[in-house]
Amino acid sequence: MFRPDGGASRLTWRLLHDLIVGLPGESLTKTAMRDGLSEEELAALASQPHKGHGPWSRVDLRLAAIEDAQRQQTAVMIWLAGNRKGDPKMPEPVTRPGVTGRRRGRQLSAADKEYLAHLRANRGALPDGMKFIAAS
């Protein structure tokens, strides 16, 4: 191990422990550790509560996005093949660490709904008295 200032740091037992614990679950070291456990030890580890959320890599996030898209596509295809009453029932997205349930947008006020209805009815034309301000 090397420090940024060029000096060598000592590998302590604490640092070694932290490095091993920080390895991904599919690493050779973690796999070898799991393979060395008995069935009872594995069952005891599985029954312990999970502490925190591990970080997801970009690959994990992309795979979750692909799974979400595939499940949505399947839901739409089932809806298209069925009786098509109402909107298709979309599945919940894959649970990601630190994210709880679907995000709900803010509730629109009556004035907001009236403004949107005017835009739709008038092909995007602003109501009287309002003017477009370009962003700088």
β-strand partners of 8: 2
- Of 7-11, 20-24, 70-74, 111-115, the range with the lowest mean pLDDT is 7-11
Tokens of 20: 């091993």
Residue 114, both tokens:
């009236």
Apex 35 CA angle, 29 and 22, nearest 5: 30
Q: What is the pLDDT of residues 18-69, one digit of tens each?
A: 898 888 877 888 888 888 888 888 888 777 776 665 667 788 889 999 999 9
DSSP state for residue 27 in the 8-state scheme? S
Distance CA 75, CA 92 (A): 11
Q: What is the CA radius of gyration of the chain?
A: 27
